[in-house]
C-alpha cells in the first residue's frame, strides 16, 4: 500500500482507512459487544442480581456457541475460527446448518462454568 501511494499522503491515508474499515472495524465492533456483555455480567454479579439477557438473535447464538462448542467437533472448530480472529462470527454462523446446530446443541444447557474463583472467593483471598 505504501509503495502504491508513494508521494501521495492523502491517497495512502484513504487507502489505509478503507482497509482498516473493511478488515479491522468489524472485529473492533464485535469486541466492543463482547466487552459490554461481560461488563454487564460482572456488574450483575457485584450487585447480586440476575443478569438481564438480551433476546436479540445474535446474542442468543453468541451465548449458545460456547455451550455447543464443547459438544460437537465441527462447532468447536467454528468457535475457534471466531476466537482465533480468523473469521468473523457472521461469516461462520451464516454457513449452512451452523447456526441451527449451535442452537440445537445449546437448548436447555447452561454455559460452562468460568474456570476462576467467584467474586466472594476472590475477595476472601485478598483479605
Distance CA 62, CA 59 (A): 5
Domain around 2: 1-52
pLDDT at 58 over 90: no
Q: Are residues 65 and 107 in the same domain?
A: yes
Distance CA 70, CA 98 (A): 14
State the cell numbers at 75: 462447532
pLDDT at 83 over 90: yes
Q: Are residues 37 and 62 in the same domain?
A: no
Distance CA 83, CA 27 (A): 11
CB atoms within 10 A of CB 93: 19
Q: Are residues 21 and 64 in the same domain?
A: no
- Say how many domains are in the chain: 2
Q: Are residues 65 and 93 in the same domain?
A: yes
* Cβ atoms of 111 and 63 closer than 8 Å: yes
Q: Are residues 65 and 104 in the same domain?
A: yes
Residue 113 confidence class, pLDDT cut points 50, 70, 90: confident
β strands within 71-124, DSSP E: none
Q: Are residues 60 and 44 in the same domain?
A: no
Q: Is 44 within a domain?
A: yes
Q: Is 84 within a domain?
A: yes
Residue 68 confidence class, pLDDT cut points 50, 70, 90: very high
Distance CA 1, CA 9 (A): 11
Amino acid at each position: 500500500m505504501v509503495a502504491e501511494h508513494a508521494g501521495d499522503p492523502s491517497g495512502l491515508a484513504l487507502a489505509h482507512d478503507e482497509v482498516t474499515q473493511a478488515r479491522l472495524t468489524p472485529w473492533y465492533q464485535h469486541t466492543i459487544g463482547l466487552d459490554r456483555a461481560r461488563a454487564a455480567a460482572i456488574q450483575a454479579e457485584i450487585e447480586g442480581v440476575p443478569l438481564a439477557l438480551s433476546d436479540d438473535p445474535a446474542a442468543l447464538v453468541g451465548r449458545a456457541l460456547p455451550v455447543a462448542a464443547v459438544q460437537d467437533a465441527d462447532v468447536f472448530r467454528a468457535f475457534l475460527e471466531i476466537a482465533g480472529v480468523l473469521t468473523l462470527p457472521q461469516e461462520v454462523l451464516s454457513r449452512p446448518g451452523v447456526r441451527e446446530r449451535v442452537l440445537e446443541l445449546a437448548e436447555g444447557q447452561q454455559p460452562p462454568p468460568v474456570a476462576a474463583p467467584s467474586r466472594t472467593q476472590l475477595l476472601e483471598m485478598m483479605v
